Amino acid sequence: MSAPADAAGQRETIGFVGLGKMGLPMARRLCEAGHSVVAFDMTPAALDEAAAFGAERAGSPAEVGRRAGVVITMLPNVQVVRAAVLGENGVATTLPAGSLQIDMSSSSPQGTAELGAALKERGIALVDAPVSGGVPKAKTGELAIMVGSDDPAAVKRALPILGAMGRKIFRTGRLGSGQAMKALNNLVSAAGMVAAMEALLVGKKFGLDPALMVEILNGSTGRNNTTENKLNQFVLSGSYASGFGLDLQLKDVRTALELAAQLGLDLPVGAPTVEAIAAAAEFLGPGADHTAMMRHLEEKLGVHL
């Protein structure tokens, strides 16, 4: 794909803030698609990795804003996004009016609406475009991307850029709606994960073989993303290294539960799912992969795979 050109026919430089497990392969896809990328992360090693595939280094989010016309954020949560965009030395301190901010982090619908209002005052458009598919799909440029925006022109400008990172690009509606959808997707995924892990432990205590159980689930109606893409790969292998942190999963399912509460809905399955993930996060401590949830369930149920 060729890089988009601005009104003067110049190639538009894309800023990228947040070069973590997802941000690095996404920024790499942009470079490989021919975009010129200027990147920042607070971890110098991440910037070294980005420089190795052709991104230019920036020393701060403000420098990214100064050098790019479109800035993508791929950061842990809404508070970090807000600080990196609106805070001291943030992207918006230098990004000129007429620019575009695309937040691809998993943030929150409410926080996105607030950020959009603050950016609009400066003449900057915001599109929320959270992703699903994890590190493997980020590497291959096959992410699912959920695009929320009130501004059709901003979406038109974002789409060719998003096309370098995703295969399935969905328009979800108004600004923040991508974040609502993403949080709900992750609640569905988390409920499936907890159910599959619990079933494995029940089966193990009964005398079923866990590896055979995974094979049967995947050939039966119990299959889901966890049974297909996580149990063998990251749980039975003992690697617990899917690349998606338990703290990030907890943030997402809490966002979904908050959304439900704001709408006056108590979730009979969603609420205990969030509790189970919160308990695992407390037990395992910071830095745990979300698939390590199994280690907490093993302790809790007194059954080990």
The b-or-e profile of 40-77 (16+ CB within 10 A means b, else e) is bbeeeebbebbeebebbebebbbbbbbbbbbbbbbbbb
Q: Which residue in this structure is represented by tokens 């749980």?
A: 235
Cα gap 295→245, rounded to integer Å:
14
How far apart are CB 294 and ligand NAD at their closest, in Å? 17
Nearest to 252, CA basis, from 283, 274, 225, 224: 274
Q: Characterise 141 by phi-psi region: left (phi > 0), alpha (psi -120 to 50), beta (else).
A: left
Among residue numbers 93 through 112, which ones bind ligand NAD (CB under 6 A)? 105-106
Q: Is 182 a catalytic residue?
A: yes
CA 177, CA 24: separation in Å to the nearest integer? 25
Cross-strand pairs, 124: none
Which of residues 203 and 244 has its CB atom nearest to ligand NAD in the complex?
A: 244
Comparing CB distances to ligand NAD, the nearer of 20 and 176 is: 20
Using CA atoms, how far apart are residues 199 and 197, in angstroms rounded to an integer?
Answer: 5
Within 10 angstroms of residue 2's Cβ, the number of other Cβ atoms is 9
The answer to the question of residue 21 lying near ligand NAD (CB under 6 A) is: yes
Asked if 244 interacts with ligand NAD (CB under 6 A), we say yes
With CB under 6 A as the contact rule, the residue among 3, 14, 18, 280 that binds ligand NAD is: 18
Active-site position among 21, 139, 168, 182 = 182
- Residue of minimal Cβ distance to ligand NAD: 20
Asked if 80 is part of the footprint of ligand NAD (rule: CB under 6 A), the reply reads: yes
Burial class of residue 196 (count of CB atoms within 10 Å of its CB; 0-12, 13-18, 19+): buried
Report in angstroms how near the CB of residue 95 gets to ligand NAD at its nearest.
15
Residue 135 binds ligand NAD (CB under 6 A): yes
Question: By CB under 6 A, how many residues form the interface with ligand NAD?
Answer: 27
- Asked if 240 interacts with ligand NAD (CB under 6 A), we say no
Q: Binding residue for ligand NAD (CB under 6 A) from 10, 32, 43, 212?
A: 43
288 binds ligand NAD (CB under 6 A): no
Q: Does 15 bind ligand NAD (CB under 6 A)?
A: no
Axis-axis angle for helices 246-262, 270-284 (nearest 10): 150
User: Tokens at residue 47, please?
Assistant: 């910037």
Q: Is 92 in the site for ligand NAD (CB under 6 A)?
A: no
Question: Which of 77-85, 167-175, 213-221, 272-280 is the region at the interface with ligand NAD (rule: CB under 6 A)?
Answer: 77-85
Q: What's the DSSP call for residue 290?
A: G
Helix (H) or strand (E) holding 251: helix 246-262
74 touches ligand NAD by CB under 6 A: yes
Q: Could you list the residues that contact ligand NAD (CB under 6 A)? A: 17-23, 40-43, 46, 74-76, 80, 83-84, 105-106, 131-132, 134-135, 243-244, 248
What is the set of active-site residues?
182
